A = this chain, B = another copy of it.
Amino acid sequence: MPKHKLRIIPLGGLGEIGKNMMALEYGNDIVVIDAGLMFPGEELPGVDLLIPDISYLVERQKSLRGIVITHGHEDHIGALPYVLSRLSTPVYATKFTRELIRVELKQRGVKTDAKLNLVSPGSKITLGNFAIEFFSVCHSIPDCVGLIIHTPLGIVVHSGDFKIDYTPTICEATNFNQLASLGAKGVLLLLSDSTYAELPGYTPSERVVIETLDRIVSGAKGRVIVTTFASLISRVQQVFDVAVKYGRRVFIIGRSMREIVSMALKTGYLTAPPGITCRLDELKTLPHNRVMVLSTGSQGEPTSALVRMANRDPSSRIQIVPGDTVVISATPIPGNEMVVSKTTDSLFRQGANVIYDKLAQVHVHGHGSQEELKLLLSLVRPKFFVPIHGEYRHLSLHASLAQSMSIPKDNTFVLENGDVLELGRDSGEVVDRTHVGVIYVSGLVTGELDGAVLRDRKLLSRDGVVVVTIAIDSEGGKLAERPRIITRGIVDAGEGQKLIEKGRDVVLAALNHDKRRLVEPSFVDAKVKDSLSKFFYERIHRRPIIIPVVVEVGKTHKKPTS
């Protein structure tokens, strides 16, 4: 009989897309799966990225046995630089994933003594009470794995991010036999990717994209510029293949694309005949119908190669000309829709023929749709089920799918970050909710998402700021001059001047109302804030942040500073 219960604690990625991180705990052993980041949208200006709050792990550092990574996407590895600078623990990852982790650590300038251990599909590691086997799954980056975790209570299967692709172009197809034999033996818990639990049917194979690409390139009279995710090596492979077929050479533009393609060629994840890529000077001499370009920028990132082309940035090494075909071989990640649309518009404006997801099947995504999720459920046949990776609606719909396949409702747990699920052999229960805040990174500042800093930024962005200077004659206890007002982000200079003059009158009147109390700074502060808040709301329906600066003048004669 096992001594402890098994605890599952999501620290990120449940009830949201991104920053995936989960702790599995048995007795004094904690294993962490993934450590990702997420990029916020325009609702968090100035915030570069969000990472999980790991205080739960920091407090239990002694029990931490290691971090196991399922694949190399930012939403699974991007928090490692921050995590490893606070926690020293071994990391386990496949080869391609480990390369990306190294890049990530280097880019953030993190030096760590944490060991980056290599694992591969079929290999097995033991971390305390957990014995973990890896099995390959297909997704949109090479070397993805799912996990078979042997615990004293039974087997836990973690799907990683996955789709089922019977004809993958790069990754190994899922090992159904292994999963089916586990299912026959009995699996305690399945943790399965819910990202596309909304979509009925099957996700198409990566292979369908090649047909579209082939058709586009065979008909194109000019250059064909393809943008996709740099790590989507199977897509990059297809671009190389179609280039070879039609006698085009490939120019690669954008730092991350150059880096990852070069790494993938070196490590054998990508195969291409020698001389297929070309340099900038060669590009300039090639006829346009002998050129393909592979570019970053599929998400409309402001400084990416594609966006610079779209905006006719003079520093761009490629300028769009009529006759160019641009293929956006990606879909916008939620939150990026507007910037991707703007980029598409700008490319059309330059005269390009732009082909994107709405017009042709130039992209397939990397997550399983409902029938694939059901297939995994029916292979693994778990006793308990926890949908992972997704917004709440995805988790909820995935749970319904599982219930439709006879997993009892009581054995299905829709968790959110911080929930502590405790499983025995026969029953499970959410026993606690630990506080997991969200940590933002803004430049070199990190902080809690719900702190004052971001709240203030939000207010500033909506309503602007007013600085009011009150000079008080410390001897006379009266105003030494008319209050001064500086505003930013409120009204244009012209009309603003009148408003500001009125505002000065309002402050003056408010302070003069009770002159004896001018010596009390808190009185002055409150009066200024109250009177101006009211004034601005009445006049322009805005509530700017008001910062009173109270200075005593005449002071130097009593307290010289030098």
Question: At the interface, yes or no: A221 with Cβ under 8 Å from chain B?
Answer: no
Q: Does A540 lie within 8 Å of B460, measured CB to CB?
A: no
Whether the pair A460, B488 counts as a contact (CB closer than 8 A) is yes
B42 near A561: Cβ-Cβ < 8 Å: no
Interface pair B542/A442, CB less than 8 Å apart: yes
A334 / chain B contacts, CB cutoff of 8 Å: 337-338, 341
A453 near B486: Cβ-Cβ < 8 Å:
no
Cα–Cα distance between A561 and B515 once the two chains are bound (Å): 14
A228–B542 Cα distance when bound, in Å, is: 30
The residue from B456, B461, B478, B540 contacting A458, defined by CB atoms under 8 A apart:
B461
A473 CB–B CB distance under 8 Å: yes
Chain B, residue nearest A341 (CB): B391
Inter-chain contacts of A447 with B (CB < 8 A): 491-492
Docked pose: A15 CA to B348 CA in angstroms: 11
Interface string of A524-561 (1 = CB under 8 A from B): 00000000000000011110010101011111110001
Residues on B with C-beta less than 8 A from A46 are 461-464, 542
A263 at the interface (CB under 8 A from B): no
Q: Is the interface of A mostly helix, strand, loop or mixed?
A: mixed
Contacts of A553 in B (CB 8 A): 471, 551-556
Q: A199: CB under 8 A from chain B?
A: yes
Contact residue among B337, B443, B480, B561 (Cβ-Cβ distance under 8 Å from A555): B480
Does B488 lie within 8 Å of A549, measured CB to CB?
A: no
- Report yes or no: A541 in contact with B461, Cβ–Cβ below 8 A: no
For A198, list chain B residues within 8 Å (CB). 358-359
Is A557 in contact with B555, judged by CB distance below 8 angstroms? no
**Which range contains the number of A residues in contact with the other chain?**
35 or more
B467 to A457, Cβ gap below 8 A? no
A residues 223-244 in Cβ contact with B at 8 Å: none
A562 touching B478 in the complex, CB below 8 Å, given contacts A334-B341, A491-B453: yes
For A479, the closest partner residue in chain B by CB is: B561
Q: A473-B556, A547-B467, A551-B553 are in contact. Are A542 and B396 (CB under 8 A)?
A: no
A432 within 8 A of B: no
- A366-396: contact bitstring with B at CB < 8 Å (1 yes, 0 no)? 0000000000000000000000000111001
Chain B neighbourhood of A554, CB < 8 A: 553-557
Is A393 in contact with B354, judged by CB distance below 8 angstroms? yes
Bits for A464-483, please: 1 = Cβ < 8 Å to B, else 0: 11010101010110111100
Residues in B neighbouring A109, C-beta threshold 8 A: none
- A113 close to B (CB within 8 Å): no
A395 closest partner in B (C-beta): B348
Query: Judging by beta carbons under 8 Å apart, are B452 and A393 in contact?
Result: no
| Minimum CB–CB distance for A442 against chain B, Å | 7
**With A443-B542, A469-B551, A480-B556 known to touch, is A393 a contact of B463 (CB < 8 Å)?**
no
Q: Complex formed: what's the CA distance from A437 to B447 in Å? A: 39
**How near does chain B come to A418, taking the closest CB pair, in angstroms?**
14
Question: Does the CB pair A348–B393 fall under 8 Å?
Answer: yes
Whether, in the assembled complex, A344 has its beta carbon less than 8 Å from a beta carbon of chain B, the answer is yes
Check if A486 sits within 8 Å of B547, measured CB to CB.
yes
Q: Is A493 an interface residue (CB 8 A)?
A: yes
Return A538 CB to nearest CB of chain B, in Å. Answer: 9
- Complex Cα spacing A59 to B335, Å: 40
Q: What CA separation (Å) do A479 and B452 show in the bound complex?
A: 32
How far does the Cβ of A349 sit from chain B's closest Cβ, in whole Å? 6
Cα–Cα, bound, A452→B354 (Å): 34
Alpha-carbon gap, A454 to B456, bound state (A): 17
Q: Determine whether the beta carbon of B358 is less than 8 Å from that of A199.
A: yes
* A41 CB contacts on chain B under 8 angstroms: 42, 338
In the assembled complex, the Cα of A215 lies from the Cα of B115 at a distance in Å of: 57
Q: Give bound CA distance, A83 to B557, whole Å.
A: 59
Which residues of B lie under 8 Å from residue A475 when comparing CB positions? 556
Q: Are A549 and B486 in contact (CB under 8 A)?
A: yes
Roughly how many angstroms separate A551 CA and B479 CA in the complex, as a whole number? 13
**Bound form: Cα–Cα A219–B464 in Å:** 51
Chain B residue numbers with a CB within 8 Å of A458 are 45, 461
**A196 to B, closest residue via Cβ:** B358
Chain B residues within 8 Å of A473, by CB: 556, 561
A488 to B458, CA, bound (A): 11
Residues of A within 8 A of B (CB): 15, 41-43, 45-46, 198-199, 334-335, 337-338, 341, 344-346, 348-349, 354, 358-359, 391-393, 396-397, 442-445, 447-448, 451-454, 456-458, 460-465, 467, 469, 471, 473, 475-476, 478-481, 484, 486, 488-493, 495, 539-542, 545, 547, 549, 551-557, 561-562
12 contacts between A and B (CB under 8 A): A15-B345, A45-B461, A46-B464, A346-B392, A354-B393, A445-B495, A453-B490, A460-B460, A469-B551, A481-B561, A484-B549, A554-B557
Q: Which 6 A-B pairs have the closest CB atoms?
A: A443-B541, A461-B461, A46-B462, A460-B460, A345-B392, A456-B489
